[in-house]
Amino acid sequence: MNEDRYDVVIVGSGPGGGTMAWRLAQTGKRVLLIERGDYLKRERENWDTEAVFVKGRYQAEETWTSSSGETFRPGLHYFVGGNSKVYGAVLFRLREEDFGTVHHPDGDAPEWPVKYDTFEPYYQAAEELFEVKGRRGEDPTEPPSRKPYKHPPIQHEPRIQELSDAWAREGLHPFHLPMGALLDQDATGAATPHSPLLRCDPFDGYPSLTNGKSDAQIICVDPALKAHPNLTLLKNAYVERLLTDASGRSITGVETVIEGRTHIIRGNVVVVACGALSSALLLLRSVNDRHPDGLANGSGQVGRNYMRHNNVTVLAISKTPNPTEFQKTLGLNDFYHGHAKSPRNPHEFPLGHIQMVGKSDGTQIEAEGLPSFLQWLPEKPFDWIAKHSIDFWLTSEDLPKPENRIFYRNNQVHLDLTQTNIKGQQALREMLRSICDKAEIHPHLMDRKLYLGKDTPIGGTAHQSGTLRFGEDPATSVLDLDCRAHGIDNLYVTDASFFPSIGAVNPTLTIIANALRVADVIVDRIGGKEELAVG
């Protein structure tokens, strides 16, 4: 057993933990960042579709079970930088309305106990930290902001610009996606000779071979390690349990397995950011006499209220070829709210968000199988389809249900999930079909299931959130409004597990903004050499 003490120990180096480490390192205090994975190797396979999507080369080697008895491999990635090593880097603020109650056909998405105005300065800081490129004023649903984006948006390539123009002619409001992509563009939108990111397909869902993505390793962990010797990264180190004192009110040790040996690491403050699913598992594993059902689980809510969006990726066939190299530049929120706020939505209830996704290639299409509407073709024209594909990602809100939860059953990880709000997603798909024709696209939509490394809906854990929700009442929530565990003085959580509801835009900017918000609380607590207030 090793004895060592830090001012703060952070578990998990994804956007939640990496941002926290970046911020706290500036205090000069001793900060330890523990990560179960290693650096993701830069290698030819980073951009190999077969390796990434078909074989799941970077996906965690784990098998979980579901309530229907199926086993599946969750879409998790254990590396320095966490899942952001493979993410699509679309970095949205939640809509202001998402912080209130949102009515859906299957029930209400609950309101947040902390509102948008509190998050706004942290969203701004998060966008600046992750170098988000975008343009305010195009998206009718965007929440108020005090400043423009620091970087102009990634320009559309000609076929996507045509699509944008066609939809605009229909009275829709296509906009440039807010992207954490390190593309240095010239006046034509082409990558400059020194741009970290190239304009090329393998971006969305792939690791970036050129380090061209604003992921937690590139933006937070590496620069903070370089600038602040008081920050230490311990990789290939798995946190098995958190230990408490006899009262159960303080974390006294972080039990960590390194090369098969168990070490107890001490921290005055402990921040957990393992990803919403893994953080809940860590608290559940940390049972002791004072916490017989798992840490901070007096409410019985640990692991419950799991959400992950109703997501679907679809391929449509453009009537003209689509030679776009970097497709993830356009979004559409005209159906985000119910009819009263989004008049183009014929339904009273919200449908969700549409964005472009990385372009399909022949290998992906072959692995997905040929869509039924093309089965009549004598050849299997995968590359032809890829050349004509236009690919969309549709996100609708799902609801936090207590019965949707992660837990251990006979030492095996078990995930219960019953889908909610499918009606909204189906209606969104219909809306997309109806507007395809206006943009010279065939209205057949073929499902692309391989994106997000999932072969079953339950394996699609990319937008995991909600397993340790925050709230004022310890009887119904796990974390308080500062994301500190109810009843445990020195334990904070800064991944998406605190979300009471998820909205219908990608979650990571909210994770980063919240980590900065909670970091301010921790800085106040531990003190530090620098003025760090956001605002």
Ligand X SMILES: Cc1cc2nc3c(=O)[nH]c(=O)nc-3n(C[C@H](O)[C@H](O)[C@H](O)COP(=O)(O)OP(=O)(O)OC[C@H]3O[C@@H](n4cnc5c(N)ncnc54)[C@H](O)[C@@H]3O)c2cc1C
Q: Residues 129, 269, 271, 282: which binds ligand X (CB under 6 A)? A: 282
Please give the residue whose beta carbon sits closest to ligand X in the complex. 14
Report, in Å, the least distance between residue 440 CB and ligand X.
26
Taking the least distance from each CB to ligand X, the nearer of 111 and 255 is 255
Contact region for ligand X (CB under 6 A) — 15-23, 342-350, 368-376, 429-437?
A: 15-23
Amino acid in position 266: R
Q: CA–CA separation, 37 vs 535, rounded Å?
A: 34
Q: Which stretch binds ligand X (CB under 6 A): 271-279, 297-305, 416-424, 482-490?
A: 271-279
Least distance CB 462 / ligand X (angstroms):
4
Token couple for 133: 């490129």
Q: Are strands 64-66 and 412-416 parallel, antiparallel or unpaired?
A: parallel
**What's the first-to-final CA gap in the chain, in angstroms?**
43
Under a CB-based contact definition with an 8 Å cutoff, are residues 461 and 337 in contact? no
Under rule CB under 6 A, residue 238 binds ligand X: yes
Radius of gyration for the alpha carbons in the chain, expressed in angstroms and rounded: 22
Q: How far is the CB of 277 from ligand X (least distance, A)?
A: 8
The alpha carbon torsion through 442, 444, 450, 451 (nearest 10 deg) reads 50
> Can you spell out the DSSP letters for 306-340?
-B--EEEEEEEEBSS----S--TTEEE-TTSS-TT
- Is residue 78 within the footprint of ligand X (CB under 6 A)? yes
Helices 508-526 and 15-25, packing angle to 10 deg? 30
Q: Which of 95, 454, 463, 486 binds ligand X (CB under 6 A)?
A: 463
Q: Tell me: does residue 11 bind ligand X (CB under 6 A).
A: yes
Look-up of token digits 């880097």? 89
Binding to ligand X by residue 13, rule CB under 6 A?
A: yes
Strands 261-272 and 102-104: unpaired
Does 15 bind ligand X (CB under 6 A)? Our answer is yes
Residue with smaller CB distance to ligand X, 314 or 511: 511
Interaction residues for ligand X, span 146-165 (CB under 6 A): none
For ligand X, the closer CB: 91 or 317 = 91
Q: Do strands 31-34 and 231-234 pair parallel, antiparallel, or not at all (unpaired)? A: parallel
Which amino acid, one-letter code, is at 317?
I
The distance of closest approach from Cβ of residue 187 to ligand X in the complex, given in angstroms and rounded to an integer, is 27
- Compare residues 90 and 431 and give the one whose CB is closer to ligand X: 90
Is residue 275 at the binding interface for ligand X, with CB under 6 A as the rule? yes
- Taking the complex as a whole, the smallest distance from the CB of residue 381 to ligand X amounts, in Å, to 27
Among 524, 506, 525, smallest CA distance to 98 is for: 506
Q: Which stretch binds ligand X (CB under 6 A): 8-16, 42-50, 135-143, 315-323?
A: 8-16
Residue of 7, 25, 27, 35 that binds ligand X (CB under 6 A): 35
Which among 39-47, 81-89, 114-122, 367-375 is the span making contact with ligand X, rule CB under 6 A?
81-89
CB of 17 to ligand X, least distance (A): 6
Site for ligand X in 504-523 (CB under 6 A): 506-508, 511
d(Cα 46, Cα 207) in Å, to the nearest integer?
A: 5
Cβ closest to ligand X, residue 37 vs residue 528: 37
* Ramachandran quadrant class, 4 (left: phi over 0; alpha: psi -120 to 50; beta: rest): beta
By CB under 6 A, which span of 74-82, 94-102, 314-322, 516-524 interacts with ligand X?
A: 74-82
Beta carbon nearer to ligand X, 79 or 149:
79
User: Site for ligand X (CB under 6 A): which residue of 31, 32, 86, 284?
Assistant: 86
The smaller minimum CB distance to ligand X, of residues 305 and 345, is found at 305
d(CA 84, CA 94): 18
User: Does residue 327 belong to the site contacting ligand X (CB under 6 A)?
Assistant: no
Per the CB < 8 A criterion, the answer to whether 21 and 31 are in contact is yes
Backbone angles phi, psi at 462, to 5 degrees: -55, -45
Among residues 21, 31, 269, 274, the one that binds ligand X under rule CB under 6 A: 274
- The sign one gets for the Cα dihedral 230, 231, 233, 237 is positive
d(CA 320, CA 161): 14
Q: For ligand X, which is the closer residue by CB, 211 or 381?
A: 211
Residues 36-55 that bind ligand X (CB under 6 A): 36-37
Could you give the CA distance from residue 179 to residue 156 in angstroms, rounded to a whole number?
12
Stretch that binds ligand X, among 12-20, 286-294, 406-414, 480-488 (CB under 6 A): 12-20
Q: Should residue 131 be labelled a site residue for ligand X when binding is judged by CB under 6 A?
A: no
What's the CA angle centered on 442, arms 439 and 443, to 5 degrees?
95
178 to 237, contacts with ligand X by CB under 6 A? 205
* Element containing residue 436 per DSSP (H, E): helix 422-436
160, 331 in Cβ contact below 8 A?
Answer: no
Q: Is 127 an interacting residue with respect to ligand X (CB under 6 A)? A: no
338 binds ligand X (CB under 6 A): no
**24 forms part of the interface with ligand X (CB under 6 A):** no
Structure tokens at 471: 């709230």
Among 8, 10, 89, 390, binds ligand X (CB under 6 A): 89
Verify binding: residue 331, ligand X, rule CB under 6 A. no
DSSP 450-473: TTTT-SSGGG--TT-B-TT-B-S-
Residue 514 to residue 510: CA distance in whole angstroms: 6
CB contact at 8 A, 36 and 385? no
Structure tokens at 74: 């969750």
Q: Does residue 395 touch ligand X according to CB under 6 A?
A: no
Which of 26, 46, 84, 217: binder of ligand X (CB under 6 A)?
84
Binding site for ligand X (CB under 6 A): 11-17, 34-37, 75, 78-79, 82-84, 86-91, 205, 238-239, 273-275, 278, 282, 452, 462-463, 495-496, 506-508, 511
